[in-house]
Amino acid sequence: MAAVTTSPSPNVPSRSSSATTSSKAWSVLIVSTLAFTVCFMVWMMFGVIGIPLKKQLGLNATEFGLLTATPVLTGSLIRVPLGIWTDRYGGRIVMTVLMAITVPPIFLMSYATAYWHFLVIGLFVGLAGGSFSVGTPYVARWFPKEKKGMAMGVYGAGNSGSAVNKFVAPAIIAALGWAAVPQVYAAIMALTVVVFWFFSHHDPKHVVPSDTKLSDQLKLLKDPAVLKYCQYYSIVFGGYVALALWMVQYYVGEFGLSITTAALLAACFSLPGGVLRAVGGVLSDKYGAHKVTWWVMWVSWICLFLLSYPQTQFTVLTVNGPKTFEIGLNVVWFTVLMAVLGVAWAFGKASVFKYLGDEYPNNIGAVSGIVGLAGGLGGFVLPILFGVLMDLTGIRSSAFMLMYGVVWVSLIWMYWTEVRRTPVMGRDAPVFKLAD
């Protein structure tokens, strides 16, 4: 496959071309990040409007988990074809069409009345979540290798749309009711389509040759390294999406808070988990994807271990009679740990894609679609499992117990494939062998 290059044409002065490319690159990055923020806000809509819907429809925890996860399913499954189409046709046209398609179902959501209505319409609204696999390769190709981590990190900061949803949706619900939220979001999405089209750009050099076979792009599915990155991303992104959908109702049920207060506290996890992804990209450029991801997994392991412990009350028979003790996190410490977890996962989402930008520069659309699919499926499956575990055990913190196990898998896999390898410098590039 021909290598992708953004070098200026020899017929144009290098200095002038560089300035033009730089201006377009930043324009693409800014408007793409705005578009992704709006798409993510829409994608996470059920995380807030699902609370009144749960009461209105009389849903149990499993049904609520399925409701919130339904948009995540289509947003995940569409990521691979969207990444491939971005490689072939360019991010500008693919992103514009994708956002425009979601406007009608977003608006129709306000007229749904039955549980199955929300599930079906949610599948179409979920297409907005596929925007990640469009924008990531789109913005990455406008920047040189030493700035790709930063560019993808800034774009990925659009995950903060989850936090925006937690600020905006409760205010709309309080003033106009839940049905007004989809109507407002549809108007915002339509406006974003127009803004994106007029301020984005297309470069023919950023698409793969027309004779590239689909089978060649899908060969990445057999690459063990890609599967490993899928595992990493299933927790740092899939876990982020799952908790962003789950935390508002968790705060309401566990601590007895109002929807507005619960949404604000849940934003302490969602906001840094999105905004600081750009910082994670810079750190990955500076220190390397492996080092950042390794520490992210250990911080996640510690936080999830503490969050997993349920509210416990036990009585001990002492020489002075029985004494009762209580162990558990109060709302303050719970929120602090969630904020730390959000920061760690923000860095992790950026570092995983730094791996991809470095190792698959010519197929970044296809590989980002595959890894994004794995992360999105994690975001789909986990909320459902959260609900099933809570219905079976009655323990809300069982959600964190489940993710604690997922992090263990990532740590073990990383240790055996990366940490226990020592570099032996060759003439042109580092070659690795297993340590003795």
* pLDDT value for 78: 87
Residue in this structure with the two tokens 């604690």, named with its chain if needed: 404
Domain boundaries defined on the chain: 21-202+217-434
Confidence category of residue 435, pLDDT binned at 50, 70, 90: very low
C-alpha torsion 368→305→287→159, nearest 10? 40
Confidence category of residue 309, pLDDT binned at 50, 70, 90: confident
Highest mean pLDDT (candidates 90-104, 132-146, 307-321): 90-104
* pLDDT value for 10: 40
Residue 362 identity (one-letter amino acid): N
pTM for this entry: 0.72
Task: Tell me which fold the domain 21-202+217-434 belongs to.
Answer: Growth Hormone; Chain: A; (1.20.1250)
pLDDT digits (tens, 9 = 90+) for 201-259: 888 777 766 555 656 656 666 777 888 888 899 899 889 888 988 888 899 888 988 88
Q: Which of 186, 175, 173 is nearest to 56 (CA)?
A: 173
Distance of CA 305 to the CA centre of its chain: 22
